[in-house]
Amino acid sequence: MVVWIVIAVIVIYVVMTYNSLVSIKNNVEKAWANIDVLLKQRNDELPKLIDTCKAYMAHESQTLEKVIQARMGADAARQTQDMEGLSKAEAGLQASLGGLFAVAENYPDLKANQTFINLQSRITGLENQIADRREFYNDSVNNNNVRIQQFPDMIVAGIFNFKRAEMLRFASAELQDVDVSSRFNS
């Protein structure tokens, strides 16, 4: 009788741990999907911002080209789920967007244009949401990685082949402050 109780407790523990690990693994996937949705949304809206800017500053094509190239790089990394490439592309995109907004400072008509103001506000809002989702993603990855390494959960994780997930990281150069004054002078 005691043997059956011990076996039942072990089976219940394995089932509960397995279900918990599956939930955590799916949270990591959901967190990535949330980032993916916002990056896609931003990539859909950036061309509208660029088109608005083009109407006001056709000769600033180099700045616009940098934004377009950075957007394409971020989109390609997002589609392939290349974390390292995404972090580099995101840093480039943020820098080029900063340059675009800095260039807008030289065009009072553009700054006053309601379409530009709305799109700039939307992009800023999306950037804030993306930052929040990145943090949630890394929290989810951390929960996953901790659980599959903790004893005795690591036994169940090993039996059912649960894998570590990769954190979204940025190189130290990508985390430095942006020199805003240089953007206004270029």
- The answer to whether residue 161 scores a pLDDT higher than 90 is yes
Sign, CA dihedral 67-74-33-20, equals negative
- The answer to whether residue 133 scores a pLDDT higher than 50 is yes
Segment 32-87, tens digit of pLDDT: 888 888 777 777 777 777 676 666 555 455 666 777 777 777 777 777 777 777 77
* Amino acid 57: pLDDT: 58
- The answer to whether residue 183 scores a pLDDT higher than 60 is no
* Amino acid 178: pLDDT: 47
What whole-number distance in Å separates Cα of residue 121 and Cα of residue 1?
68
Average pLDDT, the chain: 77
Give residue 123's pLDDT band: very low, low, confident or very high (50, 70, 90): confident
Give residue 176's pLDDT band: very low, low, confident or very high (50, 70, 90): low
Sign, CA dihedral 125-54-62-85, equals positive
Tokens of 65: 């080209």
DSSP 8-state symbol, 28: H
Mean pLDDT of 142-150: 91
Give residue 186's pLDDT band: very low, low, confident or very high (50, 70, 90): very low
Note whether 77 and 85 are within 8 A (CB).
yes
How far, in whole angstroms, is CA 99 from its chain's centroid?
21
Note whether 87 and 34 are within 8 A (CB).
no
Give residue 105's pLDDT band: very low, low, confident or very high (50, 70, 90): low
Give helix then strand counts, H and E, for the chain: 7, 0
Closest by alpha carbon to 148, among 135, 139, 138, 161? 161
Burial of 68 (0-12, 13-18, 19+ CB in 10 A): middle
* Amino acid 83: pLDDT: 74
* Amino acid 184: pLDDT: 38
**What CATH number was assigned to the domain covering residues 2-185?**
1.20.1440.20
What whole-number distance in Å separates Cα of residue 13 and Cα of residue 156?
9
